[in-house]
Structure 1
Amino acid sequence: MKYEAIIFDIDGTLIDYDYSQYQSLDKLLDIIPWNNSTRPSTKEVFDYWYKEKNQFYNRPDSNKINQYDQQKIILENVLANWKIIVDSTQLTNTLFDIYETSWRAYPDVLECLFDMNKFKLCIISNGDSKFQRLKLSKTGLDKYFSEILISGDINIKKPNPEIYNTMSDKINISVEKCVYIGDRLDFDAIGSSEAGMLGVWLNRKNITGKKIPKNVKTITSLQQLTPLLI
């Protein structure tokens, strides 16, 4: 198959979400007035945040809530778990300010994008459109992509096949000639493959024990993408 379009996820694929979130929470925890309580470890809070985030994103209405309110809801749940009473609005504003300075692309991203420049490069990502596009702009990655589709634009989230079909229609390239790369096996690789694309699971964390469908490819670094498509 001669592929024509390479489509990427954002968080965990192009931008190091874990690093950004961890660094942001670490700085935020130093600001919170713990009073007589002991400041929990950043890892402890990060793990709890991650659990709350995943639960939130599984809500059917999560796509209708903007990124600011999403973060505020998750932060309030985290604060409640440690019984901290503070102004959550002010703290959310602070978190956003810190978060924006912590975004960074993975080290293998730019080389991959240069290697893939003969293809049409695109983005499909779940999330708030303004916020996700800001990440790409702040990290300088936006200029590499000819089409960017965020679930908040159309109120359809991965792994719904319709979001992949929408991109196919936008770029006028059939799904069979599109490759989709993401860090989630279920939402990204399997979701895109069920829509007809070549689904590629970017398993950066070397997760084991997953049942991988035969029509899904697996890589652990974007450096492995070029050999996969040759």
Structure 2
Amino acid sequence: MKKYRHIFFDLDHTLWDFEKNSAETLADLYRQYELTSFNLFSESIFIEKFNHVNNHLWALYHRGKINKNEIRETRFKKIFLELGLTESQIPADFAEVYLLSCPQKTNIIPFAKEVLDYLLPKYELHIITNGFNDVQDTKLTSAKIKKYFKEVITSESIGYKKPQREIFEYALDVSNATVNTSLMIGDNLHTDIMGARGVNMDQVFFNPNDLSHQQKVTYEINCLSELPNIL
């Protein structure tokens, strides 16, 4: 088995439980803004619509079709309009409050802390994320996992995003790592797996929903607790 020295993690959906944290935040805001008073959509439909729109916008962002501000400025407007509100009914500060509240949630993926505790004495751990500097730092701090990582590389800080090879090359350089002794762990076949493969870095596809795919991956796991079996 290859000897790894540097482990690079994706953050959202791999360590920080975006779905759970986002759903909790949206449920809080649904009540706070009394959205039920519109008699147009339930809390669950609101969360479902957010997930659909958000996933679409992030896919566009990963492919360089839109930028950070377009996600932040259009996301909730699009959601509320599709749910039947008029522009004048959309809460003016909703997007801003969501962005402040969600990163402060503390839910992490099952076994994330146990695995990080296991890995930390044996490897240098790093983050490579397409998320934004301020938000990702808050997530790491709130979830109490910032201490595990030597380097946190964000797409915003260097001007390239996964799967572009430049962000992986930068991560290797700043971490004083070599591709042959490095491993990328992430949940996204396009950004994490294809990106790492583009620089000949081994990869672990974290696939908790057991999605069917045709991608060539070095390793595949359904639960983070399986990582020690690889490492």
TM-score with structure 2 setting the length: 0.88
Whether contact under 8 Å (2:161, 2:167) holds in the other structure is yes
Cα deviation, residue 18, structure 1: 0.3
8 Å CA contact retained: 1:29, 1:39: no
Identify the residue that residue 211 of structure 1 maps to in structure 2. 214
State the partner residue of 1:3: 4
**Matches of 2:36 and 2:186 in 1, distance apart?**
42
8 Å contact from structure 1 (residues 26, 42) kept in 2: yes
| 1:33-44 alignment runs, 5 A limit | 33-34=34-35, 37-44=38-45
Once the two structures are TM-superposed, the CA of residue 21 in structure 1 deviates from its matched residue by: 1.0
Contact 1:20–1:103 (CA under 8 A) maintained in structure 2: yes
Aligned to 2:123, which of 109, 119, 122? 119
2-side partners of 1:222 and 1:107: how far apart? 7
Alignment of 1:20-39 (within 5 A): 20-34=21-35, 37-39=38-40
Change (3 A) 1:98 1:39: farther
- Is the partner of 2:89 in helix, strand or coil? coil
Contact 1:15 1:105 in 2 (8 A): yes
CA distance in 1: counterparts of 2:66 and 2:106, whole angstroms: 22
Match of 1:223 in 2: 225
The alignment's C-alpha RMSD in Å is 2.0
Q: Deviations over 1:54-108 (max 9, x none)?
A: 3322142544x25xx6334201110111232335432223323432443321230
Structure 1 contact 21–99 (Cα < 8 Å) conserved: yes
Asked if structure 2 preserves the Cα contact closer than 8 Å seen for 1:159 and 1:186, the reply is: yes
Check if 1:79 corresponds to 2:80: yes
Deviation per CA, 1:27-51: give whole Å up to 9, x if none.
Answer: 2222345587425233322232222
Tell me whether 1:104 sits opposite 2:107 in the alignment.
Answer: yes
Equivalent residue number for residue 140 of structure 2? 136
Give the match for residue 92 of structure 1. Answer: 95
Kindly indicate whether the alpha-carbon contact (under 8 Å) linking 2:186 and 2:204 is maintained by their aligned counterparts in 1: yes
- Is 1:200 the counterpart of 2:204? The answer is yes
Aligned residue number for residue 174 of structure 1:
178
Deviations, residues 14-35 of structure 1 (Å, cap 9, x unaligned): 1100001111112222234558
Give the Cα separation in 2 of the matches to 1:35 and 1:16: 26
SS at match of 2:79: helix
Q: Residue in 2 aligned with 1:54?
A: 55
Q: Distance in 1 between matches of 2:41 and 2:26?
A: 11
Residues matched between the structures, number: 224
CA deviation string 1:153-185 (max 9, x = no partner) = 011111111111111111111112111101112
2:164 aligned partner:
160
Residue identity opposite 1:11 in structure 2? D
Instruction: Tell me the residue number matched to 1:188.
Output: 192
In structure 1, C-alpha distance between the alignment counterparts of 2:127 and 2:192, rounded to whole Å: 12
TM-score (norm 1): 0.88
In the alignment, structure 2 segments of 5+ residues that lack a partner are none
What is the one-letter code of the residue matched to 2:116? L
Q: 2-side partners of 1:114 and 1:137: how far apart?
A: 16
Q: Return 5+ residue gaps in structure 1 as ranges.
A: none
| Amino acid aligned to 1:91 | F
Identity of aligned residues (%): 24
Amino acid at match of 1:216: T
**Secondary structure of 1:158's partner?**
coil
